[in-house]
Chain A
Amino acid sequence: MSIEVVNITKSYKSFTALKNVNLHIPEGELVALLGPSGSGKTTLLRLIAGLEQPQEGSILFHGEDNTNRDVRERQVGFVFQHYALFRHMNIFDNIAFGLSVRSRKTRPSKEEISEKVHSLLKLVQLEGLAHRYPSQLSGGQRQRVALARALAVEPKFLLLDEPFGALDTKVRQELRRWLRHLHGKLGLTILFVTHDQEEAMELADQVVVMNEGRVEQVGSPEEIYHHPANPFVYSFLGRVNLFHGRIQNGKIKLGEAEFETDWKDKAVEAPAVGYMRPHDVEISLRPPEGKSARSVQAEINHISLLGPIVRLDLKRLDTDEVFEAEMSRQRFMELNVEEESIVYVTLHNVSIYVDSQPLQTHRPSLVPLQASV
């Protein structure tokens, strides 16, 4: 079942949680809503479930307007961040709840319910725990019970609020793999909220990046990582170095480094910001041949040995800007540098955003540019 969110605005007394949000979630996809705390991702999820009502806009399931439908009629499987298992019921009764509260006419027989619950327990690999209580289970087990409970009512799609946020790293990784597997098996549309970009990239077919009540970008993990629509998306998806400079005569100058661009309007002179990932910083002991326009000199301030990778804190000699570089341990051994060494740094894959305020365009105020040599 596809989900369509049209022009949704939701505000509370003192702040606006969502501003004119539009979103299309195709049938059968595993979609992540990714954003920092307070970006409105959980609110959006609750609006889709019907646990909250929007001020404006509508929500369509498979083209059918569901905006004014009650939660209980929407047939949505919702899994809460803290699971919200019924603490006074055992696991069997928890999973059977959705079926056993149906009116007599639509309620399956006791045998059918029992069969269903046991097949779900098998699906979530918790056979034999039917008579335990939630307080007797581990976090990961509770999460799977919550999933089984939501699946028992055969929902149109699944909504998961920070599904693995409360679990330790190892269990989290296991459950991620398991959810991916489950999605492949059931073919259900699944929408989940997370603040962990790694989780979103690893699990989702599509990632919806949200910030301050807006959707910043929608795309596959590959797309959003390699072609971030704006600086927010760029910096939210991983560690980032920032270089400030200007665009002049169609060229970007970041300190002594210079980049050619496809910027048409040569007359415009504006501030520009270059973003780059620490692993794209190339370090050498001698000035590189040929492409010196992208090279600058820098001093190593600090070296952090992080197991397989090594992170260097550097300071550019031309602009005094501080930045990070990451490299493999092997490369680091080859370089044989230490703190306070002066090295040559080549800047690869710089994404440059020009502050386009003077051009009178509205959002996005920063225009992405593909830099080339």
Chain B
Amino acid sequence: MRHLTEPAYIRWTLIIVALLFLGLFLILPLVAVFTEAFRQGAEVFVASITEEETLSAVKLTLLVAAISVPLNVTFGIAAAWAIAKFSFPGKNVLLTLIDLPFAVSPVIAGLIFVLLFGSQGVAAPLLAAWDLQIIFAVPGIMLATTFVTFPFVARELIPVMEAQGRDEEEAAVSLGASGWKTFLRVTLPNVKWGLLYGVILCNARAMGEFGAVSVVSGHIRGMTNTLPLHVEILYNEYQFAAAFAVATLLAALALVTLILKSLIEWKTERQAKLDEEQHYDVTGERAG
């Protein structure tokens, strides 16, 4: 295999370029966030993240994630199950629609909801009649977040489910299992790692979403401020230490997400290896 290897100088140049890029764009900013956060000492850091408005932003962020993630998990599983295990007309349209939130800029996503539910919006008379407020209130933030994080779970699950085929489900049904039991006892356990992966990515995005939420939130302190919006407000008010202190919370979330993500990847890789072994002597000869 020696002839397939690049010469040493090329290898080292490539490695150094990659490492420099990584350091410049990922490690350096992360270090900067933490040093800026502690620039005025640990006391200021603790004070900034225990401040009332920060705490309310944390609460709101958690609340939004706690609602939009389960919604998207439910939807994602349903969509993936339908797409991977059944064939029906309009399947490709559904697939494209699922990808829509990735294709559209988050700001546009926010604007859609303003146009729909804002004071000049399409649904304004209806909302006024029932005395409901969506835009510049918590429901708007939830809607925007749910929209933006819509594809994560479904996108993770569809390839996993498709790769596993329908055999096990058919076996379960032929053994007398109902559709629901087949789903709970066969389909879901088989995709659990993929699902967890999707949930973690979905959660990270739900907590970190800025653009769409910024458009619909109205930036009311202590009421409609999520963590990313709070960081922006603090920064614009020249409270750099406080802004970076709050930003460390988001950075910490990112780090935890990354660690969980690699753990799951390691797990699924092991699972895939086992499955491959299972199929090793199965793929030998095939005929219909």
Contacts and interface: CB of A to CB of B under 8 A. Distances in A.
A42 B189 CA distance: 29
Interface string A39-74: 000100000011100000000000000000001100
Interface string A65-94: 000000110011110111111111100000
B288 A97 contact: no
Contacts of A98: 175-177
Contacts of B173: 51, 71-72
Interface residues of B, number: 29
Interface string B256-274: 0000000000000000001
Residue of B173, B176, B275 most packed against chain A (CB within 10 A) = B176
Given A72-B178, A135-B274, A84 B281 contact: no
Interface of B is mostly: helix
Interface stretch (B28-36, B60-68, B163-171): B163-171
A78 B288 contact: no
A149 B190 CA distance: 19
A51 B172 CA distance: 11
Interface residues of A, number: 42
B13 interface: no
Contact of B284 (A85, A153, A166): A166
A162 interface: yes
B282 A82 contact: yes
B281 to A, nearest CB: 4
Contact of A42 (B175, B282, B288): B288
A78 B281 contact: no
B167 A134 contact: no
Nearest to A137: B278
Interface string A129-167: 000011100110010000001101100000000100111
Interface string A284-326: 0000000000000000000000000000000000000000000
Contacts of B172: 86, 97, 101
Interface of A: 37-38, 42, 49-51, 71-72, 75-78, 80-89, 97-98, 101-102, 133-135, 138-139, 142, 149-150, 152-153, 162, 165-168, 195
11 contacts: A71-B174, A80-B170, A82-B167, A84-B168, A84-B171, A87-B275, A98-B176, A98-B177, A102-B176, A166-B285, A168-B281
Given A77-B174, A165-B286, A166-B281, 12 more contacts: A50-B174, A80-B171, A82-B167, A83-B282, A86-B171, A88-B189, A89-B189, A97-B175, A97-B177, A102-B176, A150-B174, A167-B281
